[in-house]
Amino acid sequence: MYSAEHDTVQKGARAAETCSSACAAAAAAAVGVAPTNTTTFSAPIKNIINEMDDQRKAILLGEARYAERLTRRTARLYRRIAWACAFLGVVGGSGVVSALSMRVPDWVSVTGAVILMMVAAVTLTVRPVEKAVANETDARKYAALRTAAGPMSADEFQSALNKARETDTAEIEPLREVAYNDIVTEIGRADLKAPLRVGQRLLGALA
């Protein structure tokens, strides 16, 4: 025979079990593990989980935006190096050709030859055009990923971002802080800007 007190205890146990299941599911969602039973989710817990998912996705979108900015700056720097090499190549070539004229001092042709050798060395070792193209491709990849992020969940976007990173080309390390400063300035948090060394400021101006 069940007493009223026994019924109360049973109801309390069932309530505690339901609450524990919901809390466990919420905790599992927080660390990225799929809950085993979503029927115990109450509306407040669902809202909390959705907010956590949105916040995580916002952070991931920021990472994609940072990657896009870094690759764009890197590509621009390599493009300018390529343009400088092309210009110096023309100047050096003109100096070498001037050796055919008796009216031009010898040092002009020698200087032209030295410039040509330096340009050739930079072009062969750095390969600025090739690296510019690779970084431009990466920038378009991250831009397309951010555009397609709308209907994705945080987990789906994380997976897509990880896959995109697998094919990244090498970037210029000192430009990382420069790109980071760009992003925090754009979102109105210039107070978070990282201090830059002289070389980083120079690269930032060139890129």
Domain of residue 73: give its range: 53-206
Q: Could you tell me the CA-to-CA distances from 3 to 9, 11, 79, 81, 177 in Å, in that order?
A: 10, 13, 84, 87, 70
* DSSP calls for 33-80: ---S-GGG--HHHHHHHHHHHHHHHHHHHHHHHHHHHHHHHHHHHHHH
- Is 123 within a domain? yes
Q: What are phi and psi of 13, to 5 degrees?
A: -65, -45
In a domain, residue 33? The reply is no
Residue 3 lies in a domain: no
What are the tens digits of pLDDT across the range 62-77? 999 999 999 999 999 9
Q: Is residue 118 part of a domain?
A: yes
Mean pLDDT on 136-161: 92
Number of domains in the chain: 1
pLDDT of residue 172 exceeding 80, the answer is yes
Report yes or no on 158 lying in a domain: yes
Tens-digit pLDDT profile for residues 79-134: 999 999 989 888 888 888 777 777 878 888 888 888 888 888 888 888 999 999 99
The pTM for the full model equals 0.69
Is residue 94 included in any domain, yes or no? yes
165 is a domain residue: yes
Look up residue 61 and give its two tokens.
């979108």
Question: Would residue 40 count as lying in a domain?
Answer: no
